[in-house]
Amino acid sequence: MIEKLSGDSLLEWRRARGTAGDTTRCGSATFRWGERTYVMGVINVSPDSFSGDGLQSVVQAVAQARRFVSEGVDMIDVGGESTRPGSSPVPVDEELRRVIPAIERLSGELSVPLSIDTYKLEVARRALDAGACMINDIWGLKVEPRLAELAAERKASMILMSNQRDKPQRRIVPAVLSDLKRSIDLALDAGVAWENIIIDPGIGFGKSLEQNLELMRRLDELKVLGRPILLGTSRKSMIGLVLGVPPEERMEGTAATMAIGISGGADIVRVHDVKEALRVARMSDAIIRRRKS
């Protein structure tokens, strides 16, 4: 059952939890929320990525990551399991085989922070050992709450997503708010620092097209939770359904969602096309944040 939340109750919860932390440190980087939009580049070391960008080797992953860095990416998210609807879970050993060599190479060669896209405890632990400094949990601690203890122990940042694939909801914005509040509470109670928490509404994860569009329109309502918002719309099926185009032709639709998302309060955009996303972010920031460089 969805917790009934009003704006006043959320503000009271936020005050009780504390509001310190307008910056987040991850590795050698410091993210100052509100100053500009940050760009997270996606490295999929899985053969069945929904977006068609799955990489088959560490060499390919390193080459793509180097290109992202040359284009100005702020952080890189490495994942070894497809999150497309209907995909089969990958065994832990296979996921480790895919992601750990890539993270070891990237952490040794690149200066940008690395995130591990996983909901599995052992994969996250080994990824942090290999040089990652952020855990991107698409289940927001629903599947593996011990990820929060690991993040607290390692002082790692956490991205907590609202995912409705286990239980679709009719009223999507209250559901997402309740889901993210619960995830934040679990993380804080496990010892994760407030400033190390990032939230993600989970566009496309158990939500209908209309619900995804509604979340985009009402993204600013998530700001009441007091944490930076990551928006992942890149090449998503929402864009394909509206425009009637395959993943490789969704750049313009992705750009529109990024610009609207930044206007609604997004602090990070997670993308497959870094160069184009940085241009969209820079233009949007010039308008929304009055930042020209």
Q: Is 62 contained in some domain?
A: yes
Quick one: pLDDT at residue 58? 87
Candidate list 36, 227, 236, 250, residue with the active-site label = 236
Given the residues 120, 270, 289, 290, select the one marked as catalytic: 270
Taking only the tens place, the pLDDT of each residue in 120-153 is 999 999 999 999 999 999 999 999 999 999 999 9
Is residue 86 in a domain? Answer: yes
What integer pLDDT is reported at residue 286 of this predicted model?
96
> Does 16 reside within a domain?
no
At 57, the pLDDT band (50, 70, 90 cuts) reads confident
Number of domains present in the structure of the chain: 1
* Residue 9's pLDDT band (cuts 50, 70, 90): confident
- Cα 19 from Cα 24, distance rounded (Å): 13
Supply the pLDDT for residue 18: 60
- 17 has pLDDT over 90: no
pLDDT at 53: 54
The answer to whether position 27 is within a domain reads: no
Q: Calculate ∠ Cα 269-272-275, nearest 5°.
A: 80
The structure tokens listed for 282 are: 């820079």
What pTM value is reported for the model?
0.92
Q: Confirm whether 25 is domain-assigned.
A: no
Q: Is 67 in the active site? A: no
Structural domain that includes position 198: 37-288
What confidence score (pLDDT) does residue 1 get?
38
Would residue 146 count as lying in a domain? yes
What value does the mean pLDDT take over residues 34-53?
A: 80
Residue with more model confidence, 83 or 35: 35
Residue 270 is a catalytic residue: yes
Alpha helices (runs of H) in the chain, residue ranges in sequence order: 7-17, 58-71, 92-109, 121-130, 146-154, 172-189, 209-217, 237-243, 251-263, 274-288
Classify residue 11: in a domain, yes or no. Answer: no
CA-to-CA distance for 133 and 186, rounded, in angstroms? 19
pLDDT at 293 over 70: no
**Of residues 20 and 165, more confidently modeled:** 165
Closest to 162 in 3D by CA, of 92, 215, 210: 215
CATH (domain of 181): 3.20.20.20
% residues pLDDT > 90 (the chain): 83
Residues in the chain, overall count: 293
Instruction: Give bridge partners of residue 137 from the DSSP assignment.
Output: 160
Average pLDDT of the chain? 92
In a domain, 261, yes or no: yes
Residue in the block written with tokens 């100052």: 32
